[in-house]
């Protein structure tokens, strides 16, 4: 925890701005996709990306709502930490992150997906008292209640994966911080299916799109060219 606080103290004004921008851009893509889908009629194509023999055997584990909600704070902290990495790495991260979020938007718009919580028997399971039931009801109510949409790819998994990829090769960021990020990704991905917010394929889509975009951008390495041309000698933004 002390190491994380020290890293956040190093965040520059640019880092704070870009963290807000990336967070906002991801939210915009998540909200704009289904809105355009409804306005243009592509929502009539929506499908449930369900694999019955997998998803029907994944139970509702209510305690995972804590991890699902805590992921929002996790993203904010790790996006700030990533902004302290070298300029080349951070620029590549920004480019790959925005491309992946835009690809997610295209899926939400052109290949809309849904989960029928009534048919899954989820709503009846959260009717009772208790903080976990209340938390699940709040999340479901904010996401269509009986019908949840914009499942594939899971942005919870996509953004969480980027939080690890952005620091994976940074030598000055400690092993404990990296391990915590990796463990958190696994738990967040599990939370998406254990809260019945997503199907298994949504995890595959989120992690896969994030990883592919990051690997391709890092191979092309536009960060090196941008730093060399516009930010010579500037190690960090």
The whole-number pLDDT of residue 171 equals 79
pLDDT at residue 234 in the model = 76
Residue 71 has pLDDT above 80, yes or no: yes
Distance CA 193, CA 201 (A): 10
Sorting pLDDT into bands at 50, 70 and 90, what band is 1?
low
DSSP annotation of 197 = S
- Residue written as tokens 């009846």? 124
In this prediction, residue 237 carries a pLDDT of 79
Q: Where are the domains of the chain?
A: 2-10+12-228
Tens digits of residue pLDDT in 2-18: 777 888 888 999 999 99
Q: Return the number of other C-beta atoms located less than 10 Å from residue 7's C-beta.
A: 23
Peptide bond into 152 cis (omega under 30): no
Q: Residue 190: which residues within 8 A CB-CB, separation 6 or more?
A: 64, 67
Measured N-to-C along each axis, helices 64-82 and 13-40 cross at an angle, to the nearest 10 degrees, of 130
Task: Name the one residue in this structure whose structure tokens are 């899954």.
Answer: 120
Residue range 22-63, pLDDT digits in tens = 999 999 999 999 999 999 999 999 999 999 999 999 999 999
Task: Tell me the whole-structure pTM to 2 decimals.
Answer: 0.95
Strands (E), the chain: 114-116, 147-149
What does the pLDDT average to over 213-218?
Answer: 97
- What is the full DSSP assignment across 127-156? -SSSHHHHHHHHHHHTTTTTEEE--SS-HH
Q: What are 124-180's pLDDT values in tens digits?
A: 999 989 999 999 999 999 999 999 999 999 999 999 999 999 998 787 788 888 999
Q: What is the mean pLDDT of residues 66-71?
A: 98
Tell me the percentage of the chain whose pLDDT exceeds 70: 100
pLDDT of residue 235 exceeding 90, the answer is: no
Mean pLDDT of 199-224: 97
Chain-wide mean pLDDT for the chain? Answer: 94
pLDDT value at 233 more than 80 = no
End-to-end CA distance of the chain: 24
- Write the CA distances from 235 to 83, 133, 228, integer angstroms: 12, 48, 11
Would you state the pLDDT for residue 2?
74
Does residue 86 sit in helix, strand or coil? coil
Which residues on neighbouring strands pair with residue 47, listed in sequence order? 113
Instruction: Look up tokens 């809309």; give the residue.
Output: 112
pLDDT of residue 173: 84
């Amino acid at each position: 925890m002390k190491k994380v606080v020290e890293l956040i103290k190093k965040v520059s004004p640019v880092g704070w701005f870009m963290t807000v921008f990336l967070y906002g851009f991801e939210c915009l893509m998540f909200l704009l996709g289904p809105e355009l889908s409804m306005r243009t009629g592509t929502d009539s194509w929506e499908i449930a990306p369900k694999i019955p023999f997998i998803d029907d055997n994944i139970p509702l584990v209510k305690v995972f709502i804590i991890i699902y909600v805590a992921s929002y704070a996790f993203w904010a902290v790790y996006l700030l930490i990533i902004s302290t990495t070298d300029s080349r790495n951070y620029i590549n991260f920004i480019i790959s992150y925005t491309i992946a979020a835009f690809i997610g938007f295209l899926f939400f718009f052109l290949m809309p997906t849904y989960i029928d919580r009534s048919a899954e028997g989820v709503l009846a399971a959260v009717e009772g008292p208790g903080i976990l039931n209340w938390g699940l009801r709040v999340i479901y109510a904010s996401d269509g209640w009986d019908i949840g949409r914009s499942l594939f790819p899971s942005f919870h998994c996509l953004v969480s994966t980027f939080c690890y990829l952005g620091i994976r090769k940074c030598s000055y960021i400690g092993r404990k911080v990296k391990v915590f990020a990796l463990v958190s990704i696994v738990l967040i991905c599990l939370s998406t299916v254990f809260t019945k917010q997503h199907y298994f394929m949504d995890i595959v889509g989120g992690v896969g799109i994030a990883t592919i975009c990051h690997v391709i951008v890092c191979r092309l390495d536009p960060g090196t060219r941008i730093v060399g041309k516009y930010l010579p000698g500037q190690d960090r933004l």
